[in-house]
Amino acid sequence: MTLRPLLTLSLFSWSTVLFAQQPKPTRPVKEGEVDNQEITVEKSRKIDLPPANRIFNKIPSIKQSVEQRKLTYEFEDRKLTIGDPKITPGVLAPTTAKPDETPAYNNYVKLGAGNYSSFLGEGFVGINNLSNLALEGSIRHLSSGIGPVDGKNSAQSDTRLRVTGKYLADAFKLQADLGFDRNTYNFYGYSREYAAQPTFDPDLIKQRLNTINVKLGIENANSDNAIDYSLRTGITSLRDRFNASETDWATNFNASLGLTDELIALVSADAFVTQRTDGSIIDNRNLFRVKPTFKYTSSLFTITGGINVANQTDQRQGINDTRAFPVVDIDVAPITNIHVFAGIDGDINRNTLRSLLSENKWLAPQVLLVNTVKSWDIYAGSKGNVGGGFSYEGKVSYARYRNFSAFNNTNPDTTKFFVLYDGGVSNVLTISGQLAYAQKDKFRSTLKADVFNYGLERLEQAWGRPQVAATWTNSYILNKKLFVTADLYFYQGIKNKNFTTGVVYTLKPIYDANVKIDYFLGKQVSAFVSLNNIFGQNYQRYLYYQTQGLNFLGGISYSF
């Protein structure tokens, strides 16, 4: 399974979404998908408590400062998270943090092992003693030799290599990144009858994804500059075991200019040039976007307004479509630390082979790739700090989409999934809430829940998407030596259909609880243990793919 932390502090349970499979479903006529692309950058080497996880925008300051004008840069394309079907709890590699003692050791190696023949090896080396130059490299391997179904036939392995160089001058910062990922797994959602056939060949169910990416970036490093900017570009190449490939060249530009103490001009621009090859399919798909906005801040309210213009082209499907979306956000602070907000926006969200595989790695060959158009999203809510370490946030969103997507088993091979798009109008109501408590440098707890209602025009159901998704994350530090994280994930209302038999399955609710403990034995040595899927529930995130039950990983880390 794809290993990716759901939240900053969640320990991942090393599990995959698997299920015993049944006969083959039939493919529906209309199809639709939603983009959910993300890049996870793991690099936490400090034992500080992570910042509270916020659902939406930060609460703006009453008085604007230089830091307020500092842009938050996002190299990858924005994600479409409505009804996000991802749940990938897995074994969490041990925290690379260490107690606040001197000297500080920035490099480390760690080794761990667990049930399901799991093995973890990880290392990090950083060189920071060069003038204005920093270099760092990391490598990680995490694998399970056996899985929940037929031993080695549900094994999985993830290997990651990263090299980064940074150069800091008085006026700017340069950064270059090189990365390689190798993910191997199997299509093990087959039926027992199929596995018993003499023609069954375990080699035919294997899959392998190799991803190489190169990125370059420059950004402003002088906070006194009137203009803040960032320019980043990079190429990512993906190839699987069956020679399907995708090359994606992404360029992102962001800038802001303070016109007055209250008014800021901002602009962001993106260019994505993509080619996907899969058998006889050669598809050139591009997306260009520019978003100029103005932000006005006073002691009582903040208003952001602008326009988002996006153009998408698809050579194979003959698409050349340009759309403009309004961008309006109003945030009012009627009393101190309490905010009420409302707004409207829209966008074209990319669906690429890589983004879809990050949601569901058991994709069939030659899946249809179509971007999702969010025609508009009207939202309103409130957020604030209520004192005593408590904060809250609540939001209601009503959005309209075209080509809203879902995942369902293919026909006749139900071990794989295709992407279904609702080519009509889809209305999605989302109610979100979050309550957080933080005790400085000691304890933090965040409870978040999302409820989704899908109004689809052509699809029978929002296949593979939850109706309820909730997370509860907690972290605790004792005497700067014991670091404990605990989390609980809950998903309900996920449906998939076997199109061969015509049977619709409502998957059982998912309860996934995890606990991880790091204990520092000395200045350079720490031990860790993580317990994942504590309830031992072999749940199915996608039909016919069940996860590992109770699993653990323990080991030791050495810093130098």
- Where are the extended beta strands (E) located within 221-280? 227-240, 245-258, 263-278
Burial of 104 (0-12, 13-18, 19+ CB in 10 A): exposed
Q: Is this model's pTM higher than 0.85 or not?
A: no
Q: What is the pLDDT of residue 103?
A: 57
Q: What is the pLDDT of residue 538?
A: 94
Domains for the chain: give ranges and CATH numbers.
13-559 (2.40.170.20)
For the beta carbon of residue 146, count every other beta carbon within 10 angstroms.
Answer: 17
**Whole-number Å distance between alpha carbons of 48 and 98:** 9
**Whole-number Å distance between alpha carbons of 222 and 226:** 9
**Whole-number Å distance between alpha carbons of 64 and 487:** 36
**Whole-number Å distance between alpha carbons of 543 and 124:** 38
Looking only at the bridges linking them, the beta strands covering 118-130 and 503-506 are: unpaired
**DSSP per position, 394-415:** EEEEEEEEEEEEEEEE-SS-TT
Q: What is the pLDDT of residue 237?
A: 98
Residue found under tokens 């490598």: 139
Q: What is the pLDDT of residue 129?
A: 84
Burial 162-187 (b: 16+ CB within 10 A, else e): bebebbeeeeebbbebebebebbbbb
Burial of 305 (0-12, 13-18, 19+ CB in 10 A): middle
Query: Which residues in the chain show pLDDT less than 50?
Result: 1-102
Looking only at the bridges linking them, the beta strands covering 495-498 and 443-455 are: unpaired
**Whole-number Å distance between alpha carbons of 14 and 553:** 9
264 touches 257 (CB < 8 A): yes
Closest residue by Cα to residue 330 from 296, 371, 287, 288: 296
Region label for 356, one of left (φ > 0), alpha (ψ between -120 and 50) or beta (otherwise): alpha
Residue found under tokens 């699993």: 551
pLDDT digits (tens, 9 = 90+) for 474-494: 999 998 899 999 999 999 999
Q: What is the pLDDT of residue 128?
A: 87
pLDDT digits (tens, 9 = 90+) for 456-468: 999 999 999 999 9
